[in-house]
Amino acid sequence: MLLSKIGPSILNADLANLSAQCQELLKNGADFLHLDVMDGHFVPNLTIGPPVVNSLRLALPKAFLDVHLMVSNPEMWIKPMAEAGADMYTFHIEATKNPMGCIEQIKERGMKVGMALKPGTPVDAVEPFMSHLDCVLIMTVEPGFGGQSFMPEMMSKVKHLREKYPMLDIEVDGGVGKGTIQQCAEAGANMIVSGSAVVKSDNPAQVISVLKQAVQS
Ligand code: DX5
Ligand code: ZN
C-alpha cells in the first residue's frame, strides 16, 4: 500500500533552535523532515550542509531525514551526506551530467534515492531512470527560497506520473499548505513537503493534521 507522508521543510524555521523545532514537528505529527541544501550556485541561496544534518541525526536518531540537494555537482555530497546520516538523497536532474552515476552511488551508500525536477523541466526527463528511483520530487516553485506561491500547472506532471506508476513515491515541494493541498492530493502526490505553512503557523499540529487528512482520504 502506498503511504502518504507529511514532511515539514525547516528552511523557514527558527534555525537557532533547529533541534527543538524538529523535535516539536515530529511530536506534532510530521512523518519525515525535509532538509533543503543549497550551494549559492545551482540556486541563489545558501543553507545547510552535512554537519547540520549530522547534528540532527544525533539529536533525532529515529527521524527520517530527506535531504533535498539544490546544488551543482550533486555527486560531491553523496558520501558526506551518507556519513552524516541522511536517509534519502534527492538531487536535481538538471544539476548533473551523469544522473545514473549519482543514482548508483547513492544506493551504494545505503540511502534512498530521489530525483527532483525544476518547474521548467518536462516530466519525461525522469523516464530513463524510473526503475532505479525511490521517489520523484516535482517542484511546485522555483527552487531557492521558502514562502513562494504554489504553481498549480505542475499538477499535470504529478498526474502523469501517478497514472503510469501507481506505487511510486511522488513528492511535491513549494507553496504547499491548507489552500493548495487538495490539488496535490487529487493529482496523486503522496509525499508532501510543507515549509512556511507549517513552521510559521501558530498551530503546526493542526496544519499537519489537515494536510494528512487531505492525502489520506
Ligand atoms: C524551495 C525548497 C522548499 C521550500 C518549501 O527551494 O526546496 O523545500 O523551502 O517551503 P515552502 O513550503 O515555504 O514553499
Ligand atoms: Zn525542498
| Domain edges within the chain | 5-216
Atom of ligand 1 nearest to the CA of 147: 13
| d(C-alpha 87, C-alpha 85), whole Å | 6
Strands of the chain (E only): list them: 5-8, 33-38, 65-70, 88-92, 112-117, 135-139, 169-173, 191-194
> Is residue 39 annotated as part of the catalytic site, yes or no?
no
Give pLDDT, residue 217.
74
Among 25, 202, 169, CA closest to 87: 169
Give pLDDT, residue 156.
98
| d(C-alpha 117, C-alpha 187), whole Å | 16
* Cβ(11) – ligand 1 distance below 6 Å: yes
Give pLDDT, residue 188.
98
The 3 state secondary structure assigned to 47-68 is: CCCHHHHHHHHHHCCCCCEEEE
CA of 165 to the centre of ligand 1 (A): 25
pTM: 0.98
CB atoms within 10 A of CB 207: 23
Determine contact, residues 185/215, Cβ cutoff 8 Å: yes
* Cβ(105) – ligand 1 distance below 6 Å: no
Among 58, 68, 56, 67, CA closest to 25: 56
| d(C-alpha 78, C-alpha 109), whole Å | 8
| d(C-alpha 76, C-alpha 64), whole Å | 22
Among 141, 208, 136, CA closest to 177: 208
CA of 81 to the centre of ligand 1 (A): 20
Determine contact, residues 121/142, Cβ cutoff 8 Å: no
Cell of 204: 503546526
Determine contact, residues 162/168, Cβ cutoff 8 Å: yes
> Is residue 202 annotated as part of the catalytic site, yes or no?
no
Nearest ligand for residue 118 CA: 1
Sequential pLDDT tens for the chain (217 residues): 899 999 999 999 999 999 999 999 999 999 999 999 999 999 999 999 999 999 999 999 999 999 999 999 999 999 999 999 999 999 999 999 999 999 999 999 999 999 999 999 999 999 999 999 999 999 999 999 999 999 999 999 999 999 999 999 999 999 999 999 999 999 999 999 999 999 999 999 999 999 999 999 7
Q: Whose CA is nearest to atom 1 of ligand 1?
A: 143
Determine contact, residues 209/201, Cβ cutoff 8 Å: no
Q: Which amino acid is at 148?
A: Q
Domain 5-216 has CATH 3.20.20.70: yes
CA of 165 to the centre of ligand 2 (A): 22
Sheet hosting strand 65-70, strand order edge to edge: 5-8, 191-194, 169-173, 135-139, 112-117, 88-92, 65-70, 33-38
